[in-house]
Amino acid sequence: MKKIINDPANVVAESLRGMAAAHPELLRVRTDPAVIVRADAPVTGKVAVVSGGGSGHEPLHGGFVGAGMLAAAVPGAVFTSPTPDAVQAAIDETNGGAGALLVVKNYTGDVLNFETAAELAGIDGVDVRSVIVDDDVAVKDSTHTAGRRGVGGTVMVEKIVGAAADSGADLDRCEELAKRVVSQVRSMGMALTAPTVPHAGQPSFDLDADEMEIGIGIHGEPGRARVPLTSAEDIVQLLLDPIVEDLPFTSGDDVLLFTNSMGGTPLLELYLAHGIAERLLAERGIRVQRRLVGPYVTSLEMQGVSLTLLKLDDELTELWDAPVHTAALHW
């Protein structure tokens, strides 16, 4: 294992200290328990949009804390759900009196711990709602979740609901928007290599040089099929077909296309894949109106790509376009 680290046990804590040093104008970091909070939080009368999960997926979620997106993010250990007390601390730090919306990826530990925190906050009189993101079409069940996993669609939920909250939308409205995005977003990913968790010291699974894994998760879970390595054209087709057929997306639909690096895939290859995806969608009559390309939901240094499609309407498009200023996303 080759990594730029000191002690594997302290990777997350040291990374968070560096993040706080790099972005003091955007966020502040609480270390015990670990919470990343928007610099101006709490904002009186504003719904607090809070998310989180295991570390190792950066910039998800801490990179999306700031104006127009998350009020707070809760980072667990690498590929490990944050504890309920950390989630509750994030709710406390951002409570402006208008309630909190928890954006939760569909992994068993995340769902359980965020729900526990919501119940504890409710006892303290805070109105807390949870929305589960389950956009991964690759599997119905996995070792980490009951039902579909939450992956790239999480970024769409956080951006759109964060914009609504910043515009003054109440908790009911934020919850409705989050559920609408979840119902209209689908994703699928693949890997050329496995990630190496620092405290494990070896790859999460083995792939031969001429193999690839289709339908992987973001915690090093194997996918739905291990197949011979093929061309970028074929890889994009293997990812896009199940996504389009699942919703389904049809001719005339306006969509946001998110082409995501799993951490180790360079932009040279990512843009190549994105161009193929745009062409294949155009051939189906599906109109790409908005785009996001880059490493936004990673799995440490995994080489691979995921595609996410969100069916747009006028309101979702307007909220996606709304100003955002976070460490990882800004316009």
Q: Retrieve residue 289's tokens.
A: 């109106």
Q: Which contacts of 229-237 are long-range, i.e. CB under 8 A and separated by 24 or more positions?
A: 229/192, 232/269, 232/272, 232/273, 232/276, 233/276, 235/190, 235/273, 235/305, 236/273, 236/276, 236/277, 236/280, 236/307, 237/280
Q: Coil, helix or strand for 307?
A: strand
**CA–CA separation, 83 vs 267, rounded Å?**
34
From the list 23, 144, 219, 274, the catalytic residue is 219
The contacts of residue 10 (CB under 8 Å, 6+ apart) are none
The contacts of residue 18 (CB under 8 Å, 6+ apart) are none
CA 213 to chain centre: 20
From the list 57, 61, 144, 274, the catalytic residue is 57
Q: Retrieve residue 190's tokens.
A: 């693949």
In the residue annotation, 219 being an active-site residue is answered as: yes
Do the Cβ atoms of 144 and 221 come closer than 8 Å? yes
The contacts of residue 160 (CB under 8 Å, 6+ apart) are 177, 178, 181, 316, 319, 320
Do the Cβ atoms of 198 and 8 come closer than 8 Å? yes
Helices and strands (H and E) in the chain: how many: 8, 14
- Strand stretches in 88-230, DSSP E: 100-105, 128-133, 185-191, 211-214, 225-228
DSSP string, 102-138: EEEES-HHHHHHHHHHHHHHHHTT--EEEEEE--B-S
Q: Retrieve residue 1's tokens.
A: 């294992």
In the residue annotation, 144 being an active-site residue is answered as: no
User: Which are the catalytic amino acids?
Assistant: 57, 219
